[in-house]
Amino acid sequence: MCARYGHVARLRGGFFGLQKDALYITDPLALHSILVRDQRVFEESTEFRGLFGIIHHGEHTATAYGAAHKRLRRVLNPIFTAAFVSKLSPIFYKIGFQLRDRLAGMLQNGPAEATNIDMLDLLTRTALELISQGGLGHSFNSFEEDSKEFDTFHEALTTVLPMGGRLFLVFPFLNGWRKMKPAWLRGFLSATVRYIPWPSARRFKWAVDTMHPVCKRLFMDKKRLIAQGSISELEKTVSGGKDLSSLLIARNFEIDDADRMDDEMVIATMSSIVLGGQETTAGALSRLLCLMAERPDLQRRLREELNTAQSGKEDDEELDYYELDKLPLLDGICREALRVFAPVTFVWRETYEDSVVPLQFPIRDPATGAETRELLITKGTPVYIGMGAANRSTTIWGADAAELKPERWMEKSIDESTPNGVKMPGIYSNIMTFLGGGRACPGMKFAILEIKLVLSILIPAFEFISCPEEIDWRLGITVGPYVKGKEEAGPSVPLMVKKIGGQ
């Protein structure tokens, strides 16, 4: 994208052909202005605020902007710190071992022969369990073959964004619709969606109506538990009170009235945490295993690093959050995989007032032909932040930008990761994958722990080998893997898997 169109591109008619011309921006200095310096000017688009407001049944971080968004993040950010996330390691290990045992049970062949396994299915179950136990303090029993609760919730979770994406024709009306009064009329009209001849809208409504009651029930259960005693009653949940929603509910009790979220907001936030954390992580983990399969040399080196680290521990002792974080090759591989293959490739912003942003890489003014290092973005212009494209720009990362090179990060400071010391405004590792500024992903540390911990369990136990099938990673609101020629079968990631050392 950057090589062909530069770091600022104009999209005629916007992304969906229905809007004012949009800008697709990957320039580092412009991104800094849009995401950090002038965040109040470039807020979440009205279209996405409407879509996510409907998905999560209410106000939460994706629907709020300006001071209201800042207030919500003040409540949310402290529960995502390393101090809290690191306490989730024992829960994550328990789930990681369930994954390992389930995979081992599926390998009928002896150690010399590999079995073809859809790793996406297993990693999806894992990611849902990690986010539901770590995020909601609830288990969907995702590893049980006939867990109806898993099947239904998971189907809703993986349906809602692809179907939501197909509703782009009505995107401009969604934010107005969800605030329509009287509420009973909105409720009545929304019930009629079940009967309209638009399958995507019907599926979307089913998914939304399936997710919301689950989050509401889990919240009400916690509230009832607190009413029976005190906040410490939350320790009786599956996570021992360490999950994000228990922390959120507890924090919401403690803070000033002005900042406190109402019940509907807490429920919508719980729902946004599950949706935000499930598909992204399942996709990232599947991609990482595919990369390991394509690069047996790297897979072998990673296995050696993990085995050496584990050999320094007692038999029943696991590597903790901080130990996992310090393993250089594991770290370099994660950073590179998340750089080259960002699970969310772009986000959409709306320009609330005219603004001039500086450019790191000059562009030509189309009117005069003169080179300029400034860009005037007029009010109302849709702006797309191209995280995936910025992460792969050869101008920023060098000629080998598209290659997976963990060495890019090893024994180097973050500033040395780009050949010319270009500084990106992302919150993670000089890359844009988790975005930057006040709307950056709060779940970044949670996601990195999940990814590193699952790899630390799988790579020493199994060998992953590529299949002949070609996987097409399709761009939606997130990126989804489909086997070429078998797209109608839905997303999947087939890999050949072998047990290591005849376990």
Other beta carbons within 10 angstroms of residue 240's beta carbon come to 14
Q: How far is CA 202 from the centre of its chain?
A: 25
**3-state SS assignment for residue 388:** helix
CB 500, min distance to ligand HEM, A: 26
The least CB distance from residue 191 to ligand HEM, in Å, is 29
Q: Which is nearer to ligand HEM, 279 or 463 (CB)?
A: 279
401 contributes a contact to ligand HEM by CB under 6 A: no
By beta-carbon proximity to ligand HEM, the closer residue of 159 and 391 is 391
The amino acid occupying position 373 is R
Please list, in sequence order, all residues whose beta carbon lies within 8 angstroms of the beta carbon of residue 478, skipping any fewer than 6 positions away: 161, 279, 280, 283, 343, 344
- Residue 480 interacts with ligand HEM (CB under 6 A): yes or no: no
193: closest CA among 181, 208, 183? 208
CB of 442 to ligand HEM, least distance (A): 5
Residue 329 or 385 with smaller CB distance to ligand HEM: 385
Annotated binding site for heme: 441
Using CB under 6 A as the binding rule, the residues of this chain from 33 to 52 that contact ligand HEM are 44
Q: Kind and range of the H or E element at 347?
A: strand 346-351
| Rounded least distance, CB 376 to ligand HEM, Å | 23
Task: Determine, following the binding rule CB under 6 A, whether residue 241 of this chain makes contact with ligand HEM.
Answer: no
**Which class for 368: exposed (0-12), middle (13-18), buried (19 or more C-beta within 10 A)?**
exposed
Which of 366, 368, 424 is CA-nearest to residue 392? 424
Which C-beta is closer to ligand HEM: that of 27 or that of 44?
A: 44
Q: Report d(CA 80, CA 244) in Å as an integer.
A: 8
Identify the residue among 26, 61, 246, 271 touching ligand HEM (CB under 6 A): 61
Taking the least distance from each CB to ligand HEM, the nearer of 239 and 463 is 239
The reply on whether position 277 binds ligand HEM by CB under 6 A is yes
Residue from 272, 299, 351, 418 touching ligand HEM (CB under 6 A): that is 272
Interactions with ligand HEM, residue window 310-369 (CB under 6 A): 343-344, 347
Question: Which alpha helices (DSSP H) does 132-262 contain, by range?
Answer: 148-165, 171-178, 183-191, 199-228, 244-254
The b-or-e profile of 250-286 (16+ CB within 10 A means b, else e) is bbbeeeeeeeebeeebbbbbbbbbbbbbbbbbbbbbb
Which CB, 114 or 478, lies closer to ligand HEM?
478
Tokens 């990690």 found at = 130
Output the known binding site: 441
User: Taking CB under 6 A as the rule, does residue 92 contact ligand HEM?
Assistant: no
Give the separation between CA 201 and CA 162, rounded to whole angstroms.
11
Closest CB to ligand HEM among 216 and 439?
A: 439
Binding mask 134-173 for ligand HEM (x = CB under 6 A): -x--------------------------------------
Residues 106-135 that bind ligand HEM (CB under 6 A): 131, 135
Residue holding tokens 């179907």?
Answer: 163
DSSP state letters, 239-268: TTT-SHHHHHHHHHHHS-TTTPPPHHHHHH
Q: How far is the CB of 420 from ligand HEM (least distance, A)?
A: 25
Q: Which is nearer to ligand HEM, 284 or 459 (CB)?
A: 284
Q: Using CB under 6 A, which residues numbered 420 to 479 contact ligand HEM? A: 433-435, 439, 441-443, 446-447
What distances in angstroms separate CA 6 from CA 346, 360, 368, one per listed residue? Answer: 16, 11, 18
What minimum distance in Å lies between the beta carbon of 151 and ligand HEM?
Answer: 22
Task: Please answer whether residues 247 and 84 qualify as being in contact, where contact means their C-beta atoms are separated by less than 8 angstroms.
Answer: yes
Distance of closest approach, residue 430 Cβ to ligand HEM, in angstroms: 15
Kindly tell me which residue out of 89, 246, 281, 391 binds ligand HEM, with binding defined by CB under 6 A: 281
Question: Cα–Cα distance between 405 and 410 in angstroms, integer?
Answer: 10
- Which residue number, 73 or 102, has a Cβ lying nearer to ligand HEM? 73
Query: Bridge partners of 377?
Result: 355
In the region spanning residues 62 to 91, those forming contacts with ligand HEM, defined by CB under 6 A, are 62, 73
| Site for ligand HEM, rule CB under 6 A | 44, 61-62, 73, 131, 135, 272-273, 276-277, 280-281, 284, 343-344, 347, 433-435, 439, 441-443, 446-447
